[in-house]
Amino acid sequence: MFRKKSGRGSPEQEPTESKRNKLGPIHIERDAERPATILKVAGELENRGAEVVELFKEIETPWGKAVLPIHLLWQSQDFFIEIETRPWKSTSVEKALDDVSILRNSDYAEAGLGLLSAYPVPEEVNFFFGRSQSALLQLDLYAGRRESPEDRASLFIESARLHWDKELGYELEYLPPTEKLLTDTLSEAAEPGSGSTEARPILGALAECLGCYVGEVIRRNAGENSAWTQPEAEGRDSLLEIGDFVLDPIGNARAFLKNGPEDSVAYYAGYVLRELRESADTARRAD
């Protein structure tokens, strides 16, 4: 997940001025055969001065493999072009997110990325094909998906170090600044200078990793036997059991990401730990 530039050298010659000025939209036909469309677009890009390096470029990382249709050089920089000729479905959205998350966590992390679609592009695809801090943070968590809650918490800490230059620990004091960093990151302006603070698309991986981090803060400070329970049903969140309490920190994280401070994860963790201490004190007095 630590980014490296691709290290490519400059092309043998720069595009001529006339070719540089031939930039403009490339239109593709709806429901056209994708391979033929990819070849057509590659030819058009070469006519405009790009150097097509490879078609159907395979990019491999420890988290998976992506195949992007066009890899080109433009003015000495790597670019990748994705092409979609058919209507967007949930499966094609998921594939697009898989591919961009792999690209952004590969040796080509700094490459430009374009998307040509014959149909309107879903908002979340457009957003995650961009390079905002919010998009890049979430793509790291999405690409590095891990099974156990403990590992997801660790992944959240790694991503905080990478994107915020912030060293997080497992004490309560780290949760308020984490909330502030997340709020600032997710409320980036929709466009530079627009002043808009509309909510950004949020991937499930962010809620899961944040919730697991909050749960680990609780678990490590509870002072009792505790354990994460793995859900039997697919798609259900892990829960945290501490004594007679069953907690849902991932659910709380989802609420915070949706509603903001009124569902504060810092308040939630502090409240739970106070309740646990009071319950333990009551049990000791009863004995």
Instruction: Give the model's pLDDT for residue 180.
Output: 96
> Looking at residues 157-181, what average pLDDT do you find?
96
Asked if pLDDT for residue 5 goes beyond 60, the answer is no
**pLDDT score, position 12:** 39
Element (H, E) at 60: strand 51-61
> Average pLDDT for residues 82-93, to the nearest whole number?
96
Pairing of strands 112-117, 77-84: parallel
Q: Measured between alpha carbons, how far is 183 from 130 in angstroms, rounded to an integer?
A: 19
Mean pLDDT of 108-114: 94
- Return phi, psi of residue 73, to 5°: -110, 135
Mean of pLDDT values over 99-123 = 95
Q: Quick check: 275 and 236 in contact, CB under 8 A?
A: no
Q: Say what the pLDDT of residue 6 is.
A: 39
Phi, psi of 89 (to 5 degrees): -120, 170
Q: 234 or 165: which carries more pLDDT confidence?
A: 165
